[in-house]
Amino acid sequence: MLSGLLDGIFSGISIGSVLLLAALGLAIVFGLMGVINMAHGEIMMLGAYTTFVVQNVFKGFGGVWFDLYIFFALIAAFIVTALFGLVLERGVIRYLYGRPLETLLATWGVSLILQQFVRSVSWVLVIGIVLFCLLFFGALKFLSRRPDFDRIRNWVITIMLPLSAAIAIVTGIVIGQTYKLAATKPWFGAQNVDVTAPRWLRGGLPVGDFQLSYARIFIIVLTITCVVAVYLFLNRSAWGLRIRSVTQNRSMSACLGIPTQKVDALTFALGSGLAGIAGCAVSLLGSVGPNTGQNYIVDTFMVVVVGGVGKLVGSIVAAMVIGTATYLVGSGTLANLLEPVKPLADFFTFFATTSMAKVMVFALIVVFLQFRPAGLFPQKGRTVDA
């Protein structure tokens, strides 16, 4: 009985910590910038694939290196996804501030592209994309020095876009013909890939008659570290101060000399980087595929909405509550506990699968939002929102 409950709480917290880790980046991007990033799950996936690559590289080194690869993978995942986030913010999202629904659709488009990208990425594709970017953006950069650039800009784009695309595609086909499979073979393919945890993360710590899996303990520790780091960054560093001030009043911050565009880019990169770390953690729990991100996106949004936008503590509490509730209902623990009360036990047995637990938890969330529409910890203060 007691060990069952303990097991429930531990599993709940570990599910919750995965949720929290995944939601942390979202809470920053959505909570502080008001940007709905539907590609968040796919950025996590990118982090997971980075882990896979790093693991394969370190497998070559062998020995102690392979045992420690996970730390390098964390750093690599953070850097890769943060850079991707930076490009995404500079390239797309900065044109869409103040239009949240449009941002949502645009980032969904990005998420579709990313899903297909990891399926079909190969040397040919990479070479083609690099060539296209060099030609197209290089030409734009080169011609932008001309004094009459504003006038000819549209013409340049209409000519260079198909031209560089054609050159890139032809080069890709030629390379594909010459080097055959070596160049066209997808790196990952559509199948899921498996990340092997290092030896010291396998197995578990026996407590009573059940085991605390090391991988899950590692994720809990990682989550705590990330939360503390984000908290310190936002509340103790100069850039954190700037981020918070831009969140509260963008135009006033701009008047006081804070570079709001840089702050936006930095915030988005930070959020994406955290998603990358989450992806690295997720890869320890199971195999990773192009659809991995989709499984997390709605859950993490629920965490942010329930927690209340703009407060880290809200996300923490919400993630733990949702994680524990999902586990307790889904594993049937609650149904067992309520055995004496027959109708209640039957009711909870009906929901005692992972997917049905989700049904119940989401329904509860909708009910909860009836009483607290702004979440657990709403932002206080006057807003123009009537």
Binding segment (CB under 8 A) for another protein, from list 45-53, 79-87, 167-175, 291-299: 291-299
The contact pattern for another protein, residues 116-135, with x = CB under 8 A and - = no contact, is xx-xx---------------
* DSSP annotation string for 210-265: EEEEHHHHHHHHHHHHHHHHHHHHHHHSHHHHHHHHHHH-HHHHHHTT--HHHHHH
CA 26 to chain centre: 7
What is the per-residue binding string for another protein in 167-206, x denoting contact by CB under 8 A? ----------------------------------------
Number of H helices, E strands in the chain: 17, 2
Q: Between 292-307 and 260-283, two packed helices, what is the crossing angle to 10 degrees?
A: 120
Alpha-carbon 286 to chain mean position? 16
The rounded distance, in Å, linking the Cα atoms of 349 and 346 is 5
Residue 83 or 104 with smaller CB distance to another protein:
104
Of the residues 79, 165, 356, 376, which one makes contact with another protein according to CB under 8 A: 356
Q: Are strands 204-207 and 210-213 parallel, antiparallel or unpaired?
A: antiparallel
- Among the listed residues 96, 254, 285, 338, the single contact to another protein using CB under 8 A: 96
Count residues binding another protein (CB under 8 A): 46
CB 81 within 8 A of CB 283: no
Selected range binding another protein among 101-109, 242-250, 275-283, 333-341, rule: CB under 8 A = 101-109
Residue range at the interface with another protein (CB under 8 A); choices 49-57, 234-242, 341-349, 352-360: 352-360
Q: Rounded to the nearest whole angstrom, what is the least distance from the CB of residue 241 to another protein in the complex?
A: 27
Cα–Cα distance, 120 to 256 (Å, whole number): 47
Least distance in angstroms from the C-beta of 74 to another protein? 28
Of 78, 1, 38, 55, the C-alpha closest to 284 is 55
Which range in 131-139, 195-203, 205-213, 301-309 contacts another protein by CB under 8 A?
A: 301-309
Does 150 bind another protein (CB under 8 A)? Our answer is: yes
Exactly one of 17, 50, 111, 283 binds another protein (CB under 8 A); that residue is 111
Task: Choose one: 105-113, 242-250, 258-266, 317-325; the region binding another protein (CB under 8 A).
Answer: 105-113
* Residue closer to another protein, measured from CB, 61 or 95: 95
CA nearest neighbour of 76 among 98, 47, 42: 47
Burial class of residue 279 (count of CB atoms within 10 Å of its CB; 0-12, 13-18, 19+): buried
CA distance 5 to 328: 9
In the complex with another protein, the residue whose CB is nearer, 229 or 298, is 298
DSSP 116-166: HHHHH--HHHHHHHHHHHHHHHHHHHHHTTSTTHHHHHHHHHHHHHHHHHH
Nearer to another protein by Cβ, of 115 and 324: the residue is: 115
Interface residues toward another protein, by CB under 8 A = 36, 92, 95-96, 100-106, 108-113, 115-117, 119-120, 147-148, 150-151, 294, 297-298, 301-302, 305, 353, 355-356, 358-359, 362-363, 365-366, 369-370, 373, 385-386
